[in-house]
Amino acid sequence: MFRIVKRSAALGVAMGAVIALSACSSPTPAPAGPTESALDSVTAGWVSSIDQIGLPAALDQGFFDEYGLDVDVADPFATGVDQLNALETGAIQFAQVGSPFIGAKVAGADYVIVGNYTGSASQFGIDETMAVIAREGSGVQEGDLSTILGKKIGVAVGSINHLYLLAVLEDLGATTQDVQIVNTAPPDLGVALQTGGIDVAVSWDPWPLQNLAQVEGSYEVARGGGYIGFLGYIVAKRDFVEENPETVEAFLAARAAADRWIRDNPSDAAGTASRWLSSLDPVIAEASMDYNVQQLDPRISACNYAALDSAVATLNELGSIDGTIDVNEVFVPGPITNVINDHPELFDDLTPIPSGAQWSDGFAFDPAGSQCSR
């Protein structure tokens, strides 16, 4: 079975050798006997959001080179849908995408999930990058989500912030009939708050922090709370994954190394984010990174299956998607599991995966079971 090794500046990947890549704060042992090989060349996509900054960070920090890959980071896509269109045409081989993946799969696209760019493999509820912001005079009380009932709430319908709102309403014993949902793209939430078009904005970082900075009198009602399992996947075409296992594992190893670097160096990572996202204020980038690092978990477990299964069921019940998918056919955890086994030091700061939620050969997710507690 293929195993990833770290490469020196002049040498390629050694197939079959196993080494340990230490965290950035520790010395890195030299690879044992790598052999010369050509670089694999791939293009990876992302959306200009701080929770996706691990991709350009891996490029900046040289992790792709270290794992024998020549990776071109595409210009940020406007949306996850645009990114998946590029994946479909072959313009990119890896995509970082969240809830738009669901619609694509329901429509018949043969994409698979090989890792996460945000989320959690150790628990179902992880949403620390999500926040609820209210405008001055809205009548919404800080710390009391029940006061959003009856208000105009801005979310991007069908996106992760919409799912978060639905979970909050369910927890309150309410439904969408108890609020007025206003379909609003995250960059437009600030203006909508300022003009009174909405009373409340629900979104993920950096938008909540930008709203607070830009909209006078606005305030945070709530943040996180474990209402949903966050969706943020590293996606590729199934045939590409099956035909290029070495490339997939090398890509995931480099991304895991970048995530570890970000978790160990959040302030430096915020600087990376503000450079790649030119409109992002460095102060907001640093504040956002404090929340972002809490969701940097590239591993795959039953908790990720449960999060996706829950999101699919919710969107189908709402009529946002026409059908469902079997999450057992969507995840391909083998490559990231190999990376974890070969380089445990990239993951040893993360909360251990509960024994009942761990993936292994023959694993099958059971929606009615308790493989990942909520």
Express each pLDDT in 171-210 by its tens digit.
999 999 999 999 999 999 999 999 999 999 999 999 999 9
- pLDDT per residue as tens digits for the range 273-307: 999 998 899 999 999 999 999 999 999 999 999 99
Gyration radius of the chain's alpha carbons? 20
Is the fold of 40-124+230-357 the same as that of 130-223? yes
Class of the domain covering 130-223: alpha beta
**104 pLDDT more than 70:** yes
| Pairing mode, strands 69-73 and 40-44 | parallel
Q: For position 155, what pLDDT does the model report?
A: 96
What would the DSSP string read from start to end of 244-264?
-HHHHHHHHHHHHHHHHHHHH
Q: Which pTM value belongs to this model?
A: 0.86
- pLDDT per residue as tens digits for the range 21-47: 233 333 333 333 333 333 479 999 999
Q: For position 159, what pLDDT does the model report?
A: 87
- pLDDT per residue as tens digits for the range 238-275: 999 999 999 999 999 999 999 999 999 999 999 999 99
Residue spans of the domains in the chain: they are 40-124+230-357, 130-223
**Residue in the block written with tokens 């890549």:** 21
CA distance 16 to 7: 13
* Greatest alpha-carbon span in the chain: 67
Select from 201, 223, 228 the least CA-distant residue to 128: 223
Backbone angles phi, psi at 283, to 5 degrees: -65, -40
Contact 156, 273 (CB under 8 A): no
CATH classification for the domain delimited by 40-124+230-357, as one of 3.40.50.720, 3.40.50.740, 3.40.190.10, 3.90.550.10: 3.40.190.10
Map residue 219 onto helix, strand or coil.
strand
**103 pLDDT more than 60:** yes
